[in-house]
């Protein structure tokens, strides 16, 4: 007689584990509704299969969402790196422009004053 009790305990533990998974995915209300409709404490096989399929879909969607979030994080980091590189390039271009402008001013000043150096 100990065997049926042990089997019932295992089934109860499995049922509790499944219910906690269903609850985590928001499907526990559906399981309770199906139990109420069937009028029994245990769900029929087709009802269990339907819930399991929903559970699998939820797990797959959660996995896909996790992958999409990771991809988004990678892309955001890449975009940030490219933005930083772009800002550095813009700063270099501006620095070069300023250097050329200063060189032109100095060349003009030198040309203007080169004829008067020896005559002071």
User: For 22-56, what is each residue's pLDDT tens digit?
Assistant: 776 666 676 666 666 555 556 667 777 888 888 88
In this prediction, residue 98 carries a pLDDT of 98
104 within a domain of the structure (yes/no): no
CA nearest neighbour of 19 among 51, 44, 47, 60 = 51
CA nearest neighbour of 11 among 36, 35, 41 = 41
Residue 9: other Cβ atoms inside 10 A: 10
24 within a domain of the structure (yes/no): yes
Q: How confident is the model at residue 1 (pLDDT cuts 50, 70, 90)?
A: very low
71 within a domain of the structure (yes/no): yes
Question: Whole-angstrom Cα distance, residue 20 to residue 22?
Answer: 5
Burial class (CB in 10 A: 0-12, 13-18, 19+), 58: middle
96 within a domain of the structure (yes/no): no
15 within a domain of the structure (yes/no): yes
The number of folded domains in the chain is: 1
92 within a domain of the structure (yes/no): no
pTM for the model stands at: 0.50
102 within a domain of the structure (yes/no): no
Q: Which domain holds residue 22?
A: 2-80
Please give the helix or strand (H or E) that residue 88 lies within, else none: helix 45-113
């Amino acid at each position: 007689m100990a065997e049926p009790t042990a089997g019932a305990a295992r089934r109860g533990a499995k049922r509790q584990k499944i219910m906690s998974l269903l609850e985590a995915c928001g499907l526990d209300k559906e399981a309770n509704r199906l139990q109420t409709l069937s009028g029994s404490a245990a769900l029929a096989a087709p009802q269990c299969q339907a819930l399991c399929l929903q559970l699998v879909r939820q797990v797959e969607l959660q996995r896909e969402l996790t992958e999409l979030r990771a991809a988004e994080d990678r892309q955001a980091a890449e975009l940030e790196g490219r933005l930083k590189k772009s800002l550095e390039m813009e700063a270099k271009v501006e620095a070069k422009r300023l250097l050329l402008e200063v060189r032109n001013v100095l060349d003009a000043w030198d040309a203007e004053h080169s004829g008067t150096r020896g005559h002071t």
